[in-house]
Every structure is written in structure tokens, then in C-alpha cells.
Structure 1
Amino acid sequence: MRYPAAETAEKHQRILREAARLFREQGFDGVSVGQIMQATGLTHGPFYNHFASKEALMAESTLHGSEHSRAALDAASISPETMRQYVRDYVSAAHRDAPGNGCLLAALAGDARKQPAVRPAFTFHLKSIIGKLATHFPWQKKRNPRQDAIVMLSAMVGAVALARAVNDEAFSDEILKAVNAAFTT
């Protein structure tokens, strides 16, 4: 039975959305195709009508997550203060505590290096975010905006990843606050 194109496209987007969320929460190896399809409310059977493999889904869901992250950063680029708020929101307890709704960089950097199918999408996303930060962040000194953006993003991603990894909430908060203060004050 053929479904209307709009319904098929909606199902495809639903699979991408849930896969991106679950991969950020549990890692690429931590979630199965069956779990993703269950989260979408679909059966496992139609998966291969949408994707050639789990690796293809991983790559496309990374691009899907990238689109949303880039849109959020674009929205923040309207003023210096909204850019600083973007950094505050990124390096926050709310972001730390919700990896499924957060940035794919902080959630999947360790996993992406082991997934050749994902690396091109991950690289594209990273370069795009660095470019946007270099262009739109209100740098105090215009030495080398691209280099400064790489340092800032590395600190932001690292802070969230480390804050998620420790078992001491006060220390976790301290990590976030230190990086936040380094770029927003």
C-alpha cells in the first residue's frame, strides 16, 4: 500500500527527530533501530523504506539536528546580547540536564569519531557553528575571530560534556559557571 507523499515525508521527519533525540541521549551504539521506530509510534518494518541502514539514519539525523542548532544560532545573531544569551543558555544546567534536546556536539563528539558515516555531517555542523560564532559573536578584541570561535566552542562543548560526566553537582555547576563567565562577562 502506498501512502501519500506528505504522510511519508512526515513519517521520515518524525523518524529523524526521534533518532536525533535518542542518539543525543544514549549515543549511536546505545539505541537500536527498533527503539527509534517504537519512539516514533511506527513499526520496525517501514524503516528500510526511509533509510538504507542505521548508519544512513545516523548521518541524516546528525544533519537534521544540525539544521535546528544552526537556526537557533541564526536567531541569536540579531544582537550582541542575544549572542551572549546563546552562550549562557548553552553552558547551563538546563542544557546539561537535557542532552536529548541539546546540542549534538556536546552529546555525540565522542561517538562521532567512531562512526565514519557520521563524520562528514558532524564536520559540516562544527564548521558551520564556528563560522557563525566567528562572524556574529561580539568579540572584545578582533584578533582572530575564527580562532577565538574555535576556542570558545571547544570550551562550551567541553564544559557541557564534563559537567554531564561528573557525579558532583556543585562541581558540575562550577564548570558551567567558569566557562560561562569566560565568554559572557
Structure 2
Amino acid sequence: MPYPKGHKVKVRNHILDSAAQAFRKNGIRESSVPSIMKGAGLTHGGFYSHFESKEQLIAETCSNIVNHTIDILQTVALEENTESKFDAVINYYLSPYHRDHIEGGCIIPTLSGEISQSSEEIREIFSQELDRFIEFISDIAGCDKSTGGVVLSIMIGSLILARGVQDPVSSDNILAAGRTHAMNVLHSNSAR
């Protein structure tokens, strides 16, 4: 009996979802194809009927996660009525919720340290996705790309450090300082 129409796409999406969770939680190196397939409820043998390589899976997963993160941040900005839309984006990105929910959060902080040791193909995809994220930040903040890159660097660095420290008070303080400094960079740039 043949599979129903759309079955292959549905299975592929399950694999991408499993990879997204694995990469966010464990990084690329610690996420094996067999464990990703198991997370999707599939056997390892079926992987190559959906992807040519782990690199292809990483590339598509990174792109999907950046899309997802941008979609969430756009929704946060659109729902904001009382403060600047970009302040709302910063407040969400550097929130305890985002810090504590790695499995559904931005992948850039998780993979940044690992990417420099990855293949050229993966570094190229990561660079493209990072550039796309900087463009999103710059557009929503109404600033040039250089300033958008600085603000995003503050956001990502603050999130990495907040996730890394053990003391909850220190972690909250890092998030608060990141929010303050990211907003200060943006607001001082717009005052010029």
C-alpha cells in the first residue's frame, strides 16, 4: 500500500524538528544522525532518503530555526503597543523565558562557539543566516546594519553568558545589563 500524499514531506519535517531540538540542546557535534532520527520516531536507515548529508540537515535546520526566531520576534513587535517595538524585541530575547527554554529558542547562541570548527559549507550557511538576522534587527530597529550587528552581538553575548552562569541572580543581572546596553546603543544611535 503506498504512503498517503504528503507523507514524505511530513516525515522530513519530523526529522527537521528533531534536529532543531537536538542542535539547540546539545549542539552539532553532540547530535548524531541516529539520535536525531530516533527523536523523530524513525530508524537511522531512512535518513538518506530525505537528506544527502548531515551538513544538508544542519543547513536546513539552521535556516528553519532562524525563520522561527524571526517570526516570534516579529509577533512580539507587532503585539507591542506601549513601548518601542524594538525594545519589546530586546525584552523578549533577553528574558528569563528565552534563557530557560533553549529547546525553542534562538540557535545562534547555541551554535556560535561550534561553527568556527565546522565545515566551510556550514560556516557559509551560518553566516548567511546571521546576516539575515542582523538585517531583521536593523529593519525593526530602524538603524544601519553596523548598529544592528552591534545590538545583536550584545543580545547574543548576554544570552550566552546568562545561560552559562549557575547563580540565578547573576544570570538575571546579565540579562538586565544586556537589555539596558542594547537599548542604549540603539537609542544613542537614533539620537544622532
Q: TM-score range by the shorter chain?
A: 0.7 to 0.9
- Tell me if structure 2 keeps the 8 A contact 1:12–1:50: yes
Distance in structure 2 (CA, Å) of the matches to 1:67 and 1:136: 15
Deviation at 1:76, TM superposition (A): 4.1
Deviation at 1:57, TM superposition (A): 1.0
Distance in structure 1 (CA, Å) of the matches to 2:88 and 2:77: 10
Deviation at 1:23, TM superposition (A): 0.5
Task: Mark the runs of 5 or more structure 1 residues left unpaired by the alignment.
Answer: 139-143
Residue of structure 1 equivalent to 2:41: 41
Q: Secondary structure at the match of 1:56?
A: helix
Cα deviation, 1:140-182, whole Å, max 9, x if unaligned, reads xxxx622221111000000011111122221111111101122
Tell me the number of residue pairs that the alignment of Structure 1 and Structure 2 aligns: 180
Matched, 1:134 2:142: no
Residue of structure 2 equivalent to 1:13: 13
Cα deviation, 1:95-150, whole Å, max 9, x if unaligned, reads 11121211011111111222123222211111111112112215xxxxx6222211
State the AA in 2 paired with 1:53.
S
Deviation at 1:82, TM superposition (A): 3.3
State the AA in 2 paired with 1:98.
H
Which has the higher mean CA deviation after the structures are superposed, 69-78 or 52-61? Answer: 69-78
Distance in structure 2 (CA, Å) of the matches to 1:125 and 1:47: 24
Residue of structure 1 equivalent to 2:172: 173
Residue of structure 1 equivalent to 2:125: 121
Distance in structure 2 (CA, Å) of the matches to 1:74 and 1:3: 37
Matched, 1:51 2:51: yes
Root mean square deviation of aligned Cα: 2.0
Distance in structure 2 (CA, Å) of the matches to 1:25 and 1:73: 21
Cα deviation, 1:8-34, whole Å, max 9, x if unaligned, reads 001101111110111011010111111
- Tell me if structure 2 keeps the 8 A contact 1:163–1:173: yes
Deviation at 1:91, TM superposition (A): 0.6
Deviation at 1:37, TM superposition (A): 0.9
- Tell me if structure 1 keeps the 8 A contact 2:91–2:179: yes
Distance in structure 1 (CA, Å) of the matches to 2:8 and 2:34: 18
Which has the higher mean CA deviation after the structures are superposed, 112-121 or 157-166? Answer: 112-121
Q: Secondary structure at the match of 1:46?
A: helix
Residue of structure 1 equivalent to 2:187: none
Distance in structure 2 (CA, Å) of the matches to 1:132 and 1:90: 14
State the AA in 1 paired with 2:51.
F
- Tell me if structure 2 keeps the 8 A contact 1:62–1:118: no
Distance in structure 2 (CA, Å) of the matches to 1:88 and 1:121: 27
Which has the higher mean CA deviation after the structures are superposed, 154-163 or 95-104? Answer: 95-104
Matches within 5 A, 1:1-185: 3-78=3-78, 81-116=84-119, 117-137=121-141, 145-184=144-183
Cα deviation, 1:60-115, whole Å, max 9, x if unaligned, reads 11111122122223334546633322211111111111212110111111112221
